Amino acid sequence: MPIRPATIKDASQITALLHQLGYPDTEQAVNRRLEMLGGKTDTIILVAEDDDRQLTGCLQVVIANRLAEGQYGEIASLVVAEDQRGRGVGRQLVDSAADWLNGHGQSRMRVRCNAIRKQTHRFYAHLGFRETKSQKIFDRDLPGPGIS
């Protein structure tokens, strides 16, 4: 299954994948994000596609720079099509992200995962990730238009 960097043309299929995990983004919002992220050197969005050029998964990995924790790679999002789960798509995407991070001088990869996604926790553990921290995430809306 080929893994390649995402392009703007993938916006509608990426949007459909995100909907499967409950993210109600519009294709226009995903398109804007792909445009914005496309020129950055500290992140890549990878997609897996089948023989019919249908996307079966999508992953974004970023190089994080944290004052307290230093620099490391972090999977910002990973989604595999519901009908493709358990077939190695997620593993291939994670392996490709690890290769990209290694090529950018990174030796550590992290992922944050929603507490309710127990099956996903097992997936990451199976890939060699170990649980190192539990936390809660707090959001606060800010005044102004923002970027979505």
pLDDT in tens, 58-81: 999 999 999 999 999 999 999 999
Residue 136 covered by a domain: no
Domain of residue 63, CATH code: 3.40.630.30
- Among 54, 59, 7, residue whose Cα is nearest residue 31: 7
Query: Which helix or strand (DSSP H or E) is residue 63 part of?
Result: strand 55-66
Residue 134 covered by a domain: no
Residue 89 covered by a domain: yes
Q: What percent of the chain has pLDDT over 70?
A: 98
**Residue 94 class from Cβ within 10 Å (0-12 exposed, 13-18 middle, 19+ buried)?**
buried
Residue 147 is predicted with a pLDDT of: 63
Residue 119 covered by a domain: yes
Q: Which residues pair with 60 in a beta bridge?
A: 45, 77
- Per-residue pLDDT for 148 more than 70? no
φ/ψ of residue 144, rounded to 5: 105, 170
* Mean pLDDT in residue range 10-35: 95
Question: Looking at the 3D structure of the chain, how many domains does it have?
Answer: 1
Residue 51 covered by a domain: yes
Between 91 and 135, residue with greater pLDDT: 91
Band of residue 145 on the pLDDT scale cut at 50, 70, 90: confident
**Residue 37 class from Cβ within 10 Å (0-12 exposed, 13-18 middle, 19+ buried)?**
middle
Residue 113 is predicted with a pLDDT of: 86
Residue 147 covered by a domain: no
- Per-residue pLDDT for 137 more than 90? no
CA distances from 62 to 54, 75, 103 (A): 24, 6, 13
Three-class DSSP category at 30 = helix
Residue 81 covered by a domain: yes
Displacement of CA 111 from its chain's centroid (Å): 9
- Per-residue pLDDT for 114 more than 90? no
* Mean pLDDT in residue range 73-90: 95
What letter would DSSP give residue 138? -
Range of the domain at 93: 3-126
Tell me the average pLDDT of the chain: 93
Residue 16 covered by a domain: yes
